[in-house]
């Protein structure tokens, strides 16, 4: 019984340790951007992903985006016309150590944000 409890304790500790680390903590003025996953681009080497998709967390304060997870991302900002045509306005690579991205203050209105992590694409809307 003691061996089972020790094994269980070690497994819980390892599971907690392997969770994504939060790189930045939100405050009252932070808007959380809700991202929805798009169908993944299939990697020929990985036919069948083995778990649920972890959606990255992004926060916004004025023209600054905050990244809660220490992972590599590509960030694309698009405008969209009435016909649904998207135009890329801004893009950036966010290395794992980067926690924030300042967008140009000339952006005004509603924009689409695309966050790319590996073979997964996530979409959301931001108001600037």
Per cent of the chain over pLDDT 90 is: 45
Question: How much is the pLDDT for 92?
Answer: 95
| Over residues 75-98, mean pLDDT | 93
**Residue 14 pLDDT greater than 60, yes or no:** no
Q: What torsion, rounded to 10 degrees, do the Cα atoms 53, 117, 40, 15 define?
A: -20
Question: How much is the pLDDT for 96?
Answer: 86
**Would you tell me how many other CB atoms lie within 10 Å of the CB of residue 63?**
14
**Residue 4 pLDDT greater than 60, yes or no:** no
Question: pLDDT band at 91, cuts 50/70/90?
Answer: very high
Q: Which CATH architecture has domain 21-42+56-127?
A: Sandwich (2.60)
Give domain limits for the chain: 21-42+56-127
Residue among 19, 56, 22 at smallest CA distance from 36: 56
Question: How much is the pLDDT for 126?
Answer: 95
| Over residues 64-84, mean pLDDT | 90
More confident residue, 84 or 6: 84
pLDDT by residue (tens digit) across 15-73?
444 444 444 556 667 889 999 988 665 555 655 556 677 888 899 999 999 988 778 88
Q: Which two tokens stand for residue 44?
A: 């020929």
């Amino acid at each position: 019984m003691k061996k089972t409890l020790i094994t269980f304790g070690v497994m819980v500790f390892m599971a907690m340790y392997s969770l994504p680390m939060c790189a930045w903590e939100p405050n009252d003025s932070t808007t959380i951007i809700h991202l929805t996953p798009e169908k993944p681009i299939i990697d020929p080497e990985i036919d069948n992903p083995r778990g649920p998709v972890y959606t990255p967390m992004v926060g916004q304060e004025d023209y600054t985006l905050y990244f809660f997870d220490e992972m590599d991302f590509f960030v694309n900002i698009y405008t969209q016309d009435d016909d649904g045509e998207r135009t890329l306005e801004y893009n950036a690579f966010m290395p794992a150590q980067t926690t924030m991205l300042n967008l140009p203050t000339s952006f005004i209105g509603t924009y689409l944000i695309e966050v790319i992590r590996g073979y997964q694409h996530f979409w959301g809307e931001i108001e600037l």
